[in-house]
Chain A
Amino acid sequence: MLGYGPVVHDSMNVRLLLFAVLQDIVGSSEISLQLRPGTSALEVWQTLRQKHHQLLPFPAPPMTAINESYAPPETVLRDGDELAFIPPVSGG
């Protein structure tokens, strides 16, 4: 019956990794996320921004990596993905 009773949503699990200044702001190096299917990396960033006001000036993440490769922030995540927002790098 449509529209009645509890709606059971599918959900997917994504690991969010945080490094350097982002790790300090969020206060954690890794967060397990349960997301509705179709969620993009950018939407995860928007949620993060709303929780951590220091990120409000940044409407887009500096760089996004999914499963250890750079990807556009609009990329839709999949169950089991490892997501990382990469602050501007300063190695070398």
Chain B
Amino acid sequence: MNPDQTYLTEDPLSYTDLIGSVMRPSDGALAFFAGVVRNHHDGKTVQSIVYEAYRPMAEREIGRIMEDIRSRYPDVRMAVRHRLGLVVVGEASIVIACSSPHRAEAFAACREIIDRVKQTVPIWKKERSESGEEWVGWQGAAGEGSIRETR
């Protein structure tokens, strides 16, 4: 694995660039996933999301996930990019492309990447709606309800 690989970027994510980076002549399958900012959450209208990361650890953590999945799906070529900063409705916050000779491994690897990124990579989102800004994700930490931002 290339240690200089960066998975995080402030720039808009390109679906086609990512797909182009994984496809080989031997591949008969491409699984692609994009996480996209939607305009609603918990009954509120969402205008945009700001993503923040513990950047060096997030890079390492995604690298660990990719390395582990790669070791179990050696035929799959995989790429992932996560966006940081302001992302507006309709734009992708994460894109994942997995190519392989056959579809089963491509689907499985793609699904596992997104599930594990959401579980352990230190990235946080703050939703902006007409009622203000709010961090997402503290809920459930100790069963005491959420800590709400007062700004």
Contacts and interface: CB of A to CB of B under 8 A. Distances in A.
Interface string B10-37: 0000000000000000000000000100
Interface in A77-92: 84, 86-92
A72 to B, nearest CB: 15
B142 A60 contact: yes
A91 B118 contact: yes
Secondary structure of the A contact surface, majority rule: loop
Interface residues of B, number: 35
The 4 closest A-B pairs by CB, nearest first: A91-B123, A90-B137, A20-B124, A57-B144
B56, B117, B142, B151 interface centre (most CB from chain A within 10 Å): B142
B141 A84 contact: no
Interface of A: 17, 19-21, 24-25, 54, 57-60, 62, 65, 68-70, 84, 86-92
A21 B135 contact: yes
A28 B47 CA distance: 27
A90 B136 contact: yes
Given A20-B124, A24-B151, A58-B141, 7 more contacts: A84-B122, A87-B141, A89-B119, A89-B122, A90-B123, A91-B122, A92-B118
Contacts of A57: 142, 144
A46 to B, nearest CB: 14
Contacts of B140: 88
A91 B121 CA distance: 7
Secondary structure of the B contact surface, majority rule: mixed
Contacts of B60: 68-69
B136 A86 contact: no
A87 B57 contact: no
A22 to B, nearest CB: 9
Interface string B123-142: 11110000000011111111
Given A20-B52, A24-B151, A88 B139 contact: yes
A74 B94 CA distance: 33
A10 to B, nearest CB: 28
Given A58-B141, A88-B138, A70 B120 contact: yes
Interface string B66-103: 00000000000000001000000000011000000000
